[in-house]
Structure 1
Amino acid sequence: MGLLGLLVPCDAGLWSEPRTSAHSSEYRLPDHYHALARCLELAWRAGHVDQADKYLRKAIENNPRASVDAGYNYCKGLHEWYSGEPNAALQAFNRARRDLEWGERALYNMIEIVLNPDNEIIGGEVLDHGDDRGDEADREMAAKTAERFLKDKVSSVGAVLVVARAYMLMKQTPKAKALLKRVVGHPWSLEDADYLEKCWLLLADLYINQNKSEQANTVLRTILQHNASSIKAFEFLGYLREKEQKFNDAAANYDDAWKLSRMRNPAIGYKLAYNLLKCKRLFDCIEVCHHVLKLYPTYPKIKKEIMDKARMSIRS
């Protein structure tokens, strides 16, 4: 069953009244947060971000006190995290972290956000240019530990991701690539979905860095087939089209990433504005620049290198 096939009964059942208390489905209670979390994930993966917003609004409408519930705050944290809002996600998860039922998973997510607030592709080289993570001895120890972990968890996609990241940090790219290619055709499941997507994104990063655009495109299409709201996948596609000087196509992909990030990610806004400038969509370009500068008044270069050039082109 596809994502839409899962989402429709989720949508229909989440807000309907149970026929009897004895036979009520977990999806029939508006404050059943396990169901809500699942519906949010399905909505995002199916590309229906507006549906995800609707689910959270309806939870409050059905129960005005939901905003203090740990389950609701966990779900809100997920939504903010998917939207590229790490600070808002941390605040929501923090309100859930002392709860017996939701606290452990909220804490795990908080740790991941703190370690990787910008949701970088750890080990990747194309889009992310972070600092060097630890010294060589630490990286080597991490790689050996990860390899032992993989031997114990042969069929685990999560283990593949951990070891591939360790190889990348050790600059052992061929080993990482060989490992990641093992999961290209791995059966997709909702339980493995996040790990698979991160593996595929890292593999796409490797292909792009090796100028293998066709293979990268194939992997990125696979990602979007399973998660139509993958901001990083759209950003990669924009990067590829920009390299090919297909600026209209690049702008379209960056625009998808920009909207999915709720127009709050200045780096994506900059790339979108640049490609809009290159394809002569000058008024759209200026509008994006204004939006970035409104949120980040000191964001470097966007005014001088893009907005001022767009204005000059309009006047000439």
Structure 2
Amino acid sequence: VALVSQKAANGSAVHMQKMPRCETEKAIAAYERAKAMDPENAELAVRIGRALVSTHDYQRAVRYYRDAVASDGVNFTVLADLATLYWRLGAPDHAISLLTEAPAHQSEPDVGETVERAIERVNCTLLMCKIYRDSQKPDAATEALLRARGFQEHVLHHMMRSETQETIYQQKIVAATIALELGGYYASIGDAQRAKEFYQEARMYDESNEEVLLAIARLLLDGGDATACEEQCNAVLRISPKSEEAVVILADVMIRQHRFDDAAQHFSQILDETPDNYKALVQYVRLLRHAGRLGDAEKVLERAEELLPLGQRHPSGLSFARGLYHRYCYENLEALRAFNAARLPVDDSPWSIPALTNMIEMYLFSSNEELWVDTVLRDEDKNENVRIAERLLLQMPDGESRDILQGYCWMASKKRSLVERAIKEFKQICATSETMQQHQGSFNDEKDAKEEEKDEDERLLSDANRPPQASGRLNVPVRVGLAIAYFIAGLEKKAAAELKRIVYMPFDPITIDAVHRARLLAAHMSILREDLKMAQGILQKNIEVNKSCPQTWLMMGSVHEIGMSHDEAAECYENAWKLTKERDPSVGYKLAFHRMKSGKIVSAIDVCRKVLEVHPSYPKIHEVMDACCSLLRP
């Protein structure tokens, strides 16, 4: 909330903070002498008070302000300074009480009052709003902001007749700021209609305000009106061609429309201008993953690295982008090194927690195989990777993300007691985090599950185009974890019930990774049931939004392999082979085998040789090599 204040007094306070304490004391003494000669000078009173605050002599500042208010209680700037000081000292109730006693607050708007008094009333209410908001009183803050809006309308409609155009413009900016704040509040609580009304009001007062136009664009995007949102962003870019926020929202529109190449192009333009814009760089790497163009990332990463002085440690944002690239390329060692660099120093980097999260996930999913591939529950201790993940987890702050990762650690242990504990934890998180009514079928007990028909899995994973409608927002990452835990525990029908609610959800950049994993599990379950059509449809949805996942291509290859379609299987395995940079011998073996089966003998031999160059002792590849050579003999 912007407060209209005296620039001279503010500039003086900033200057005071930069002065040595002894110089500040001399300035205070000089101000006091001047005040003694001119007791009615309110600006001097403000300067003295702010100078005292700048020296951190708060008790003396409070005493001075109290005396100033007592001697001249009508000066709003002095009163507002004292209220702000109370607030900053942890006494918001004192601040609010003082502001309610201000003459501007106690009087009602009147066309006969001065412009100054009318503006003071607005500023007083805005300061109260700010204090309420900081005190975690959103209802009171919103009520104050609505009152401020009404007071500002009074200023504009009744008090500006004899004012200059510059003053009128400044007051319109204040009105636009208030309306923008209100629009943001209603957008945050999901009241899109009221948010739209206030954003339009803000635009009426300040047509070229970029922040207002972007807020409208975000509202349109959240409301699903991609076309209008795109038009709004383009309007912003015509006004401000270098508006990074407009480009980000526009790219988000394209992402939701699966136009990943177009979105990547926008971020490429940002990086051409500022190669060290690490937020854009990270998003660019993610987009290239969706588009299946990870090879384009290396050049951009190298350009960002070339800007650094020789020998300088990589900034955390650059290390994080590098880590993502290596992780997406399944270069685990390089990825872990980069993420480890990105998370340090721990308390001073916005990339620390995301990097730590990626490291934990990599230790839990260290290969192309997901947690559900091995469902044999054990009683022995956890493996070393799980131990490392749990040690890293200790460095995560408390919260839902940490709880979810803890659940994954328990699942990865494959110990029955810990898998059951993960189920309990995920259900508890769902109960506390979701506002929707729980679907009763998600939590049926084991007795009910046994009484279900044998084809229940097929029914639960069918109706692809008619996903269930919920009255609230699902906690997708937790629901996916719960589905995996159910499957590992042998509760396939409960897993299917959870997956049905997720696998056909529309694209959302926030939940796409969790939905991607849910689709892999759903496809795995369909393959086990030999429902190849269902599996193929689910996997195709993954490919539409992420063309860089080897596991998806491997599973699609398995579908074609079961169906004896060797050409299609070879094509899928070739994609997986390229995405793993031709390093995974198991993928190379499958590609070589199906090329041989489809009659491409020479091509199969080439793959065999590449596998043997890196893994000379890999046993199965020799069999394919020998078979191919025998087929070439006359």
Q: State TM-score, norm by structure 2.
A: 0.46
1:240 lines up with 2:552 in the alignment: no
In structure 1, what residue type is equivalent to 2:618? Answer: Y
* Structure 1 unmatched ranges of 5 or more: 17-28
Q: Say if 1:63 and 1:180 are closer, same or farther in 2 by CA, change over 3 A.
A: same
1:118 lines up with 2:398 in the alignment: no
In structure 2, what residue type is equivalent to 1:47? Answer: G
In structure 2, what residue type is equivalent to 1:15? Answer: D
Decide which moves more: 93-102 or 240-249. 93-102
Pick one of 576, 580, 589 that aligns with 1:261: 580
Ranked by relative contact order (alpha carbons within 8 Å, sequence separation 6 or more), the top structure is 1
SS at match of 1:263: coil
- State the Cα distance separating 1:97 from its structure 2 match: 2.3
- Which residue of 1 is the match for residue 298 of structure 2? 53
SS at match of 1:68: coil
Pick one of 6, 10, 15 that aligns with 2:267: 10
- Which residue of 1 is the match for residue 519 of structure 2? 200
Pick one of 273, 297, 306 that aligns with 2:592: 273
Contact 1:235 1:253 in 2 (8 A): yes
In structure 2, what residue type is equivalent to 1:108? Answer: T
- State the Cα distance separating 1:296 from its structure 2 match: 1.6
Contact 1:207 1:216 in 2 (8 A): yes
SS at match of 1:268: helix
Listed one character per residue, the Cα deviations across residues 13-50 of structure 1 (whole Å, up to 9, x for unaligned) are 2112xxxxxxxxxxxx2112111010000011011122
- Which residue of 2 is the match for residue 23 of structure 1? none
Decide which moves more: 191-200 or 128-137. 128-137
Contact 2:375 2:414 in 1 (8 A): no
User: How many residues end up aligned between the 2 structures?
Assistant: 300
In structure 1, what residue type is equivalent to 2:556? Answer: L
- State the Cα distance separating 1:254 from its structure 2 match: 0.4
* Structure 2 unmatched ranges of 5 or more: 1-253, 379-412, 435-473
In structure 2, what residue type is equivalent to 1:48? Answer: R
1:166 lines up with 2:485 in the alignment: yes
> Structure 1 CA distance, aligned partners of 2:337 and 2:524?
31
> Structure 2 CA distance, aligned partners of 1:30 and 1:167?
45
- State the Cα distance separating 1:143 from its structure 2 match: 1.4
> Structure 2 CA distance, aligned partners of 1:231 and 1:224?
10
Q: What are the equivalent positions in structure 2 for 1:116-265 lying under 5 Å apart?
A: 116-123=365-372, 125=373, 133-154=413-434, 155-265=474-584
- State the Cα distance separating 1:215 from its structure 2 match: 1.0
- Which residue of 1 is the match for residue 602 of structure 2? 283
- State the Cα distance separating 1:259 from its structure 2 match: 0.6
> Structure 2 CA distance, aligned partners of 1:293 and 1:139?
39
1:90 lines up with 2:408 in the alignment: no
- Which residue of 2 is the match for residue 78 of structure 1? 324
Q: Say if 1:131 and 1:109 are closer, same or farther in 2 by CA, change over 3 A.
A: farther
- State the Cα distance separating 1:204 from its structure 2 match: 0.9
1:309 lines up with 2:309 in the alignment: no
SS at match of 1:216: helix
Decide which moves more: 58-67 or 207-216. 58-67
- Which residue of 2 is the match for residue 106 of structure 1? 355
Contact 1:229 1:260 in 2 (8 A): yes
Answer with 1 or 2: which has the greater Rg.
Answer: 2
- Which residue of 1 is the match for residue 617 of structure 2? 298
> Structure 2 CA distance, aligned partners of 1:12 and 1:142?
44
Listed one character per residue, the Cα deviations across residues 111-137 of structure 1 (whole Å, up to 9, x for unaligned) are 1111221042222x4xx6888543322
> Structure 2 CA distance, aligned partners of 1:254 and 1:263?
11
> Structure 2 CA distance, aligned partners of 1:239 and 1:64?
49
Contact 2:375 2:488 in 1 (8 A): no
> Structure 2 CA distance, aligned partners of 1:209 and 1:146?
25
Q: Say if 1:131 and 1:40 are closer, same or farther in 2 by CA, change over 3 A.
A: farther
In structure 1, what residue type is equivalent to 2:272? Answer: W
> Structure 1 CA distance, aligned partners of 2:342 and 2:288?
22
> Structure 2 CA distance, aligned partners of 1:173 and 1:8?
42
Listed one character per residue, the Cα deviations across residues 255-282 of structure 1 (whole Å, up to 9, x for unaligned) are 0111111111221111111111111211
Contact 2:377 2:416 in 1 (8 A): no
> Structure 2 CA distance, aligned partners of 1:262 and 1:67?
28
- State the Cα distance separating 1:74 from its structure 2 match: 1.2
Listed one character per residue, the Cα deviations across residues 142-172 of structure 1 (whole Å, up to 9, x for unaligned) are 2122222222233111011110111011110
Pick one of 40, 43, 49 that aligns with 2:285: 40
- State the Cα distance separating 1:302 from its structure 2 match: 1.1
- State the Cα distance separating 1:70 from its structure 2 match: 2.2
Listed one character per residue, the Cα deviations across residues 196-215 of structure 1 (whole Å, up to 9, x for unaligned) are 11111111111111111111
- State the Cα distance separating 1:83 from its structure 2 match: 0.6
In structure 2, what residue type is equivalent to 1:175? Answer: K
> Structure 1 CA distance, aligned partners of 2:619 and 2:375?
16
- State the Cα distance separating 1:173 from its structure 2 match: 0.6
> Structure 2 CA distance, aligned partners of 1:267 and 1:76?
26
SS at match of 2:371: coil
> Structure 1 CA distance, aligned partners of 2:600 and 2:307?
44
> Structure 1 CA distance, aligned partners of 2:376 and 2:571?
26
Contact 1:250 1:275 in 2 (8 A): yes
Identity %: 31
Contact 1:239 1:250 in 2 (8 A): yes
